[in-house]
């Protein structure tokens, strides 16, 4: 393709997406850490985040943000939600008008409750925005295993053009114009993955895991639809698909947090030991605020929030969930 691409973020998923895109178009990845940049350029590796993966020789890196952004035709944001706005502001002066900006981040901005595409629209008005999201575990994809993802934008023409940029070999990319629904699915499932992890850490069985995933999917669908998403979106790759992968894989950061909480460890200790960000922990307060705003019952998410804040133990949270009154499956709770 004739498109030139810039990608901001040198973590595991950003590096993986950059590797995929490099098969279709020239791309330069920006990372703040000089050692990561040198490792990518000199050794074709990102030993810090993807120690077992060999990166394409075509993939180049820089620690000068202007070098990655200036002249690019598509900008991809692989930055955690906590730093997303500040990095975008840093890139703003280098970016040409009307360049599409695609988010890889499955989180919400804590101070405003905004989705990442809303942050992009605020910082870069006039730029087409979208997300690449789905059941995508970076290490599996870099190992050559098949995976499917979704590129979502409201503009049908642009989204079909960008589909070709990301679609590559065993990495199949579908399109969806329900931007809000696709983005929310990626955010909300992280909360449920922590709950499932807590159950695994407490020694719960497959029946419990299945019940939590199913009822958790019902919770995020209720909130997503109340906010304007399409019900079918939450039954697809960016909803149920992403939920299954994040709730069951040992590679899932959010599930890992839940497992450790289930073992009785404190949230601060768990986070301090992690190299990468678990977005579910950061998003939990905002998700609960949104549930209250839209008058949606989310008992599983509420328990996760209370446990991550240190107000409730994982054991107590599970006791509460199992003792709740039950009605028809279609009802909340």
Strands (E) located in 55-202: 60-62, 74-77, 101-103, 129-133, 147-152, 171-176
The whole-angstrom separation of Cα 36 and Cα 39 is: 5
**Catalytic (active site) residue 92:** no
- From the candidates 28, 106, 114, 189, which is the catalytic residue? 189
Question: Cβ contacts of residue 316 below 8 Å, gap of 6+?
Answer: none
Q: Which residues of 232-265 are buried (b: 16+ CB within 10 A; e: fewer)?
A: ebbebbbbbbbbebbbbbeebbbbbbbbbbbeee
How is the beta sheet containing 147-152 ordered, strand by strand?
A: 60-62, 27-30, 5-8, 74-77, 101-103, 129-133, 147-152, 171-176
Active site residues: 189
């Amino acid at each position: 393709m004739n498109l030139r691409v810039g990608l901001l973020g040198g973590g595991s998923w950003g590096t993986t997406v950059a590797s995929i895109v490099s098969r279709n178009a020239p791309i330069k990845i920006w990372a703040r850490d000089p050692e990561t940049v040198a490792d990518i350029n000199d050794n074709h590796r990102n030993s810090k985040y993807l120690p077992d993966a060999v990166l394409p020789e075509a993939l180049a890196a820089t620690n000068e943000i202007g070098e990655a952004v200036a002249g690019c035709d598509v900008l991809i944001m692989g930055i955690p939600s906590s730093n997303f706005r500040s990095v975008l502001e840093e890139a703003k002066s280098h970016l040409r008008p009307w360049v599409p900006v695609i988010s890889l981040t499955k989180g919400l901005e804590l101070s405003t409750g905004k989705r990442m595409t809303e942050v992009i629209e605020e910082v870069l008005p006039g730029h087409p925005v979208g997300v690449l999201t789905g059941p995508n575990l970076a290490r599996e994809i870099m190992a050559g295993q098949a995976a499917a993802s979704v590129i979502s934008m409201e503009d049908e023409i642009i989204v079909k053009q960008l589909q070709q940029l990301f679609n590559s070999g065993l990495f199949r990319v579908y399109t969806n114009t329900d931007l809000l629904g696709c983005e929310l699915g990626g955010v909300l499932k992280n909360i449920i993955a922590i709950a499932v992890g807590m159950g695994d850490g407490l020694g719960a069985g497959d029946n419990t895991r299945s019940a939590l995933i199913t009822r958790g999917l019902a919770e995020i669908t209720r909130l997503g639809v109340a906010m304007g998403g399409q019900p079918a979106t939450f039954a697809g790759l960016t909803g149920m698909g992403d939920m299954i992968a994040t709730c069951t894989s040992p590679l899932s950061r959010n599930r890992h947090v839940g497992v450790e909480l289930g073992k009785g460890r404190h949230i601060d200790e768990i986070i301090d030991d992690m190299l990468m960000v678990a977005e579910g922990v950061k998003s939990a307060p905002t998700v609960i605020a949104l549930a209250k705003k839209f008058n949606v019952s989310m008992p599983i998410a509420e328990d996760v929030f209370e446990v991550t804040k240190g107000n409730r133990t994982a054991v107590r949270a599970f006791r509460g969930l199992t003792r709740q009154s039950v009605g028809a499956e279609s009802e909340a709770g």
